[in-house]
Chains A and B, each alone.
Chain A
Amino acid sequence: MTTSDLALLKERFETLTERESSDHVAVNCASSQLIELCTALRDDFGYDMLVDVTAVDWDAQSPRFTGIYHFLSTTKHEYLRVAVDCTDDINPALPSLTGLYAAANWHERETYDLMGIRYQGHPDLTRILMWDAYPYHPLRKDFPLAGIEVPLPADDVAEITGMSVKPAPMVGGPFVSSADGPMSQTEPRARDESWSEKKIKPCGK
């Protein structure tokens, strides 16, 4: 995005500020002006493609959740990143871009599934990766890496197998491969194999 375009945008949207970025041009915007901004980006500035919708969980900070949008101009070959803070930390919500970009549909469902941000105005805001009854949003910072025990999605299968969704801690992981030596010794393995699911992790490590 050229500096003149950016100045023009800033003039039109008073909540728009430039955002620190190590690659493409990035801007912050208030969620109240998001739809208006994206309409302008699509119709007046040539950003005709929505490449990615994601979010950041800043953990203890407030605002806790930031929605991130990546736009591409297929005529100018330039990317633009738009970051929008969610005003509510407990029930984060953002306006849906499905009315502007068809690509937003599944991306917003994924972000809802994994981060728990509700996109208002989305035609079908259901989970896309985890099953519908799954109670958590796994990419949030307060969700443990190993997972949390919950029942299997199907009751009858859970009854037959006696299985549930079990946490899978990285026992001494991540699993790394030593590059040299015969294949039998270069298989990926945990650095610390002194503990496992059955053997409790020794204290102080």
Chain B
Amino acid sequence: MQNTTIAYDSKVEGEVIVTQADAVINWIRKHSVWPMPMGLACCAIELMAAGGARFDISRFGMEVMRFSPRQADCMIVAGTVTYKMAEVVRRIYDQMAEPKWVVAMGACASTGGMYRSYATLQGVDQIIPVDVYISGCPPRPEALLDAMIKLQDKIGTERSVKNLFPEKADSKEVAEATKES
């Protein structure tokens, strides 16, 4: 993978490691994902099981479930999102600090699942961007762990440094706006 290459030769470089900023940033980010458990239905039970001793999500560095969106960077939407709850989900997502990721856990969060009704949002991706979808009703904890590993892989391929700075088009607009004023 391109961003994970770390070249190190102790004889030549001593205690200096040469690498890419992206590789370091992504390496740090992906091994300390702090999930926000958006438990809305029975999928949350499997999410709790994944946090328990038997499946142990802390093996992957993401056991620090944060119930405050300000301290979390990965929202795991576990369960049925009703239209009434959609507002809350979106607001909590908005309150999370960048960079942030979303995992849609289970059939309901991904597509509405078996709830094809007047009250259920047919997929949480209609209100927030989703990075990883998990199939299953509910998915087993292994499936969640697999998805989280896939999310780690995805974080590993991000252009983190580039994302830190605004796009060129934006800076042009900003420059023009300042000129006009």
Contact A129 B118 (CB under 8 A): no
B-side contacts of A154, CB under 8 Å = 87, 90-91
Residue of A with least CB distance to B126: A163
Contact A161 B83 (CB under 8 A): no
Q: How far is the CA of A158 from the CA of B114 in the complex (A)?
A: 24
Contact A157 B90 (CB under 8 A): yes
A-side contacts of B128, CB under 8 Å = 161
| Contact residue among A148, A157, A168, A170 (Cβ-Cβ distance under 8 Å from B127) | A157
Q: How far is the CA of A83 from the CA of B118 in the complex (A)?
A: 28
CB distance from A193 to the nearest CB of B (A): 14
Given known A131-B84, A168-B122, contact A161–B117 (CB-CB < 8 A): no
Q: How far is the CA of A129 from the CA of B83 in the complex (A)?
A: 11
B-side contacts of A153, CB under 8 Å = 83-84, 86-87
A-B contact count (CB 8 A): 56
Interface residues on chain B, size class: 10 to 19
Q: How far is the CA of A175 from the CA of B122 in the complex (A)?
A: 15
Chain A residues numbered 137-155 whose CB sits less than 8 Å from any CB in chain B:
138, 143, 145-148, 152-154
Contact B127 A147 (CB under 8 A): no
Chain B residues numbered 8-22 whose CB sits less than 8 Å from any CB in chain A:
none
Given known A161-B127, A168-B122, contact A147–B87 (CB-CB < 8 A): no
Q: How far is the CA of A12 from the CA of B84 in the complex (A)?
A: 46
Residue of B with least CB distance to A169: B116
Residue of A with least CB distance to B137: A188
B-side contacts of A167, CB under 8 Å = 118
Q: How far is the CA of A154 from the CA of B86 in the complex (A)?
A: 9
Q: How far is the CA of A131 from the CA of B122 in the complex (A)?
A: 18
CB distance from B136 to the nearest CB of A (A): 10
Instruction: Return the CB mask of B91-117 against A: 1 if under 8 Å, else 0.
Output: 100000000000000000000101011
Q: In this assembly, does B26 line the interface, its C-beta being within 8 Å of a C-beta of chain A?
A: no
Q: In this assembly, does A179 line the interface, its C-beta being within 8 Å of a C-beta of chain B?
A: no
Q: In this assembly, does B6 line the interface, its C-beta being within 8 Å of a C-beta of chain A?
A: no
Interface centre among B91, B120, B127, by most chain A C-beta atoms within 10 angstroms, is B127
CB distance from A196 to the nearest CB of B (A): 12
Contact B87 A152 (CB under 8 A): yes
B-side contacts of A60, CB under 8 Å = none
Q: In this assembly, does A90 line the interface, its C-beta being within 8 Å of a C-beta of chain B?
A: no
Given known A152-B83, A163-B86, A175-B114, contact A157–B119 (CB-CB < 8 A): no
Known A-B contacts: A129-B119, A152-B87. Give 9 more (CB < 8 A): A130-B84, A146-B116, A147-B119, A148-B118, A152-B83, A153-B87, A160-B90, A167-B118, A170-B116
Binding site for A on B (CB under 8 A): 83-84, 86-87, 90-91, 112, 114, 116-120, 122, 126-128
